Structure 1
Amino acid sequence: MGVEIKVEHLTKSFGKQLIWGDVTLTIPAGEICVMLGPSGTGKSVFLKTLIGLLKPDRGSVIIEGTDIATCPERELYEIRKLFGVLFQDGAMFGSMNLYDNIAFPLREHTKKSESEVRDVVMEKLDLVGLLGTEDKLPGEISGGMRKRAGLARALVLDPEIVLFDEPDSGLDPVRTSFLNQLIVDLNAQIDATFLIVTHDINTARTVPDNIGLLYHKHLAMFGPREMLLSSEEPVVRQFLNAQKVGPIGMSEEKDADELAAESDQDLPALPPIPMQLEPSNGIPRRSQREPGAWCEENGITPPPGSFDQNMSMTTGA
């Protein structure tokens, strides 16, 4: 089972440049979360701070009672064993075949025999649908296969937290859909805590249990998927529904004149909330809730057509 990540008042700068400040959220154990934000808002920096590769200026990241922002290096090393990371490009060693790439963390961090290593590697290759490709080099396979190989490597130490840094970058919509299904299936199988940084709106609308949005150096909102997909908060509404009307401009923020010019425009209706992607075997994940449950509990009327199974199927959700 995954572990909870509690982030409190986290602030990070590079020199005089504030990346984001006072970020507070709790990533629930075993759930799938997505972190969104316009380009340059520090989403990858946030991932690196969670795993202790970057130190925040202020704030804390509490994992199993340890604040990794201030703990000694030896404790941080132990906490990092809870993590698996899928990097944007897979980060495979080009001179190693897939088998050796995936075996690398086991050989570096465990005392397993080669027969035990082989059992684990073949299990993870099977898990991501890559059995039979173990002798290929990273340069001999497609981008989607490299992503899955990188995911297999991220899973070999049986992590309780898995971080995905833009797993859909460089993938076409079909491969992204396959990867999304794989992520949901894996969460159902291993019950780890998943955090996905992505720009893909369809992924954000259909995969996670919770969504966060970084914008203009702060966390605009974080909470259950249905909360954000029904939100009238301008930046959340604009980003999650890919609309032009709102505070986000081509570069960063729109100026006062642009916002004033938009003030008389009628906002487009919120699109229906799609069904959440389910595991391939049809058995709901432990953290998965009934469609519309959050809206009902909070007295929110979802947009017309929400949670329509037929609508979700035709839109590729």
Structure 2
Amino acid sequence: MGVEIRVEGLTKAFGRQTIWQDVSLTVPAGEISVLLGPSGTGKSVFLKSLVGLLKPDRGHIWIGDRDLPYLPEHQLYETRKLFGVLFQDGALFGSMNLYDNIAFPLREHTKKSESDIRRVVMEKMDMVGLLGSENKLPGEISGGMKKRAGLARALVLDPEILLVDEPDSGLDPVRTALLNQLFIDLNAQINATFLIVTHDINTARTIPDNIGMLYRRELVMFGPREMLLSSEEPVVRQFLNARRAGPIGMSEEKDVSELEAESKMGLDVGTLPPIQPQLMPSDGRIRAAQHAPGAWCAAHGVTPPPGSFVDDLGRNWVEEWPRYVASQQAAAMHGGQPGHPGGAQY
């Protein structure tokens, strides 16, 4: 099972430039969380702070009972072993083939024999669909394969926390969708805590259990996906709708005169799009971290946007979910395999 990350009052600046300030959130253990935000809001800096590559100016990062910024070097080294990191470009060594790239953390941080290392590497390559590509160099493969190789390397030490920085960068929409499905499948298998930084709206709408958003050096909100996807916050609605109108500008936030001009022109951030069904594991199982569709909205008296939780086949998963759970439980009781819901979403 994954480890909870608890952030309290975190602040980071480079010289006079404050990146973000007083950020507090809890990333639940074993769940998939996504962090959104316009370019330049410090999302990657936040990930680097979580793993101890950058030290915040103030605040706390609790990994279990350890406060990461204040650990002595040897404890920081040990705590980092809880993490796997998938960097934006995969960060593969160009002179090593994929097998040696993926084996590198095992050779560097463990005393495993080469036979044990081979077993682990091949298992992780199988998990990400790279079997048969062991001898290829990074320069000989596609961007999507590089991402999967980087992901396999992030998994070889069996991390309890997986940090993922812009997995969609450099990928076409199809490869991004396939990678998103892989994250869901991996979470179902290993129950690790996932935190994914992304600009991709489809990723944010379909895979996480929780969503947060950084803007204007602050955390606008963080919580269950339905909370953000039903939010009336103008910055959230503008971002989800990819609208030109709204508080987000080309570089920083827009000033009052710009917003007034947009209002006079009749421009707005748009209505909230429907909340899409969340991706299901490929084999149809129910992840340990999954929540019933519409449960948060119902518990908090929020009416979701029209058309929410309806899949491409026209099924409303608020209504379908109890029947699906019952069918899975019945299959498990009789020793059968989990059924697939007829699509990769619920």
TM-score, normalised via structure 2 length: 0.89
Counterpart of 2:110 in structure 1 is 110
Shift of 1:114: 0.5
Aligned 1:1-317 pairs, distance under 5 A? 1-263=1-263, 265=267, 267-310=269-312
Q: The residue matched to 2:312 in structure 1 has which SS?
A: helix
Structure 1 residues 312 and 204: alpha-carbon distance in aligned structure 2, compared to 1, 3 A threshold: farther
Mapped partners of 1:71, 1:98: distance in 2: 34
Mapped partners of 1:271, 1:57: distance in 2: 38
Amino acid at match of 1:309: D
* Residues 50-106 of structure 1 deviation map (CA, whole Å, 9 limit, x = unaligned): 001100000000001010011111111110000000011111111111000000100
Mapped partners of 1:43, 1:249: distance in 2: 17
CA contact (8 A) 1:93 1:138 kept: yes
Amino acid at match of 1:44: S
Gaps of 5+ in 1: none
Structure 1 residues 54 and 132: alpha-carbon distance in aligned structure 2, compared to 1, 3 A threshold: same
Mapped partners of 1:118, 1:279: distance in 2: 27
Q: The residue matched to 1:35 in structure 2 has which SS?
A: strand
Amino acid at match of 2:294: G
Structure 1 residues 266 and 122: alpha-carbon distance in aligned structure 2, compared to 1, 3 A threshold: closer
Mapped partners of 1:178, 1:239: distance in 2: 23
Name segments (4+ residues, structure 1) moved above 4 Å: 264-267, 311-314
Amino acid at match of 2:225: R
Amino acid at match of 1:259: L
Mapped partners of 1:116, 1:167: distance in 2: 29
Q: The residue matched to 1:108 in structure 2 has which SS?
A: helix
Amino acid at match of 2:156: V
CA contact (8 A) 2:243 2:269 kept: no
Mapped partners of 2:212, 2:240: distance in 1: 10
Mapped partners of 1:117, 1:53: distance in 2: 26
Mapped partners of 2:245, 2:39: distance in 1: 18
Q: The residue matched to 1:310 in structure 2 has which SS?
A: coil
Structure 1 residues 249 and 267: alpha-carbon distance in aligned structure 2, compared to 1, 3 A threshold: closer
Structure 1 residues 95 and 148: alpha-carbon distance in aligned structure 2, compared to 1, 3 A threshold: same
Shift of 1:244: 2.2
Shift of 1:21: 0.1
Q: The residue matched to 2:285 in structure 1 has which SS?
A: coil
CA contact (8 A) 2:241 2:270 kept: no
Mapped partners of 1:149, 1:312: distance in 2: 36
* Residues 188-224 of structure 1 deviation map (CA, whole Å, 9 limit, x = unaligned): 0000000001110000011100111000111011111
Counterpart of 2:335 in structure 1 is none
Shift of 1:269: 2.0
Amino acid at match of 1:285: R
CA contact (8 A) 2:125 2:149 kept: yes
TM-score, normalised via structure 1 length: 0.97
Shift of 1:262: 3.0
CA contact (8 A) 1:8 1:24 kept: yes
CA contact (8 A) 1:221 1:236 kept: no
CA RMSD of aligned residues (A): 1.6
Q: Which protein, 1 or 2, shows the higher relative CO under an 8 Å CA cutoff with sep ≥ 6?
A: 1
Q: Taking every aligned residue pair, what percent have the same amino acid on both sides?
A: 74
Q: The residue matched to 1:176 in structure 2 has which SS?
A: helix
Mapped partners of 2:228, 2:118: distance in 1: 43
Q: The residue matched to 1:123 in structure 2 has which SS?
A: helix
Shift of 1:268: 2.5
Shift of 1:266: 5.5
Shift of 1:253: 0.9
